[in-house]
Amino acid sequence: MINIEKALFYYDAEKVLFKDLSFRLESNETLAILGPNGVGKTSLLRCLMRFLRLKTGSIYLNGVDHRDIADSLFWRAVSYVPQAKSMVFGYSVLTMIMMGRCPYIGMGRLPKKADRRAAEEAMARLGLEHLAGRSCNSLSGGELQMTLIARALAKKPSLLIMDEPESNLDMKNQLKILDIIQSLKREQNLTIILNTHFPTHAMRVADKVLLLGNDRYLYDHTRAAITEKNVMEYFGVFSEIVAMKSAVRTIHAVVPTEIAVSKESTQKECV
């Protein structure tokens, strides 16, 4: 479904974020993008969504260069879930979710019954009916994140792009978001791409992993990509990958143990 070929991007030519980046993601797969801060994870998402343009290279959606797809068709196929932050406008939860239908409603037109029904279905899918009339300004971080996911689902997209959907949430809400990601792919045949800072979360939900580093990348199946060796090389952290059995599943987790300090950096600190 998504094919990226020899992608190059930078803001400053002196500091390239990624180059010669190529990978293919099939329909109904989940991709987790991992890497330390500043290597271009969010910039890659913004290129996928046409907010930024690659310096060189191409991005294809269902075999078509994504720049050649009309805006109306592109934004019906693609939905975006940003990081949950406090809202500056006091829209109700239902109104916020209804905004996901904008590509179908059109400029200056009112929502139709089908748009409201799609919004209500997305709201019910995430168990938000009791919040329908609440202002988004009054929501907790977890409630707001769920509302933004519902807004994205109201569009009924084929590709869902999520920027750190579990960040700034407590443990219970993190697990709730991860469970939703798994069920969405299973029940709605969605292709999902998400940025995350948590390798353990990627091991829980992703079929494929893209590890971004300075001047390099690794793309592979999740269990092949997330190894103790790769965690050390890409994050500079020694870790142990452990398996834990819960009542319903086996969970694989990456446990960081200490910072991997190179001889070179140690020498600089001593000087």
Coil, strand or helix at 73: helix
User: What's the pLDDT tens digit per position in 127-175?
Assistant: 899 999 999 989 888 888 889 999 999 999 999 999 998 887 888 888 8
Coil, strand or helix at 172: helix
Q: Based on the fold, state whether residues 139 and 257 are members of the same structural domain.
A: no
* Model pLDDT, residue 86: 63
Q: Based on the fold, state whether residues 187 and 240 are members of the same structural domain.
A: no
Q: Based on the fold, state whether residues 192 and 242 are members of the same structural domain.
A: no
Which residue segment(s) compose the domain that 256 sits in? 235-271
Coil, strand or helix at 160: strand
Q: Based on the fold, state whether residues 84 and 201 are members of the same structural domain.
A: yes
- Dmax (CA) for the chain in angstroms is 70
Q: What is the CATH number of the domain that holds 182?
A: 3.40.50.300
How far is Cα 194 from Cα 212, in angstroms, rounded to an integer?
13
Q: Based on the fold, state whether residues 147 and 58 are members of the same structural domain.
A: yes
Q: Based on the fold, state whether residues 32 and 66 are members of the same structural domain.
A: yes
Q: Based on the fold, state whether residues 251 and 195 are members of the same structural domain.
A: no
Q: Based on the fold, state whether residues 9 and 79 are members of the same structural domain.
A: yes
* Model pLDDT, residue 267: 44
Domains: count for the chain: 2
Average pLDDT score, the chain: 90
Q: Based on the fold, state whether residues 156 and 35 are members of the same structural domain.
A: yes
Q: Based on the fold, state whether residues 263 and 157 are members of the same structural domain.
A: no
Query: For 140, phi and psi rounded to 5 degrees?
Result: -75, 170
How far is Cα 186 from Cα 225, in angstroms, rounded to an integer?
22
Confidence tier at 88 by pLDDT (50, 70, 90): low
Prediction pTM value = 0.90
Q: Based on the fold, state whether residues 251 and 210 are members of the same structural domain.
A: no
The amino acid sitting at 190 is: L
Scan for tokens 């998402």, then name that residue.
45
Q: Based on the fold, state whether residues 191 and 263 are members of the same structural domain.
A: no
User: What's the pLDDT tens digit per position in 211-254?
Assistant: 999 889 999 999 999 999 999 999 999 999 999 988 888 889 99
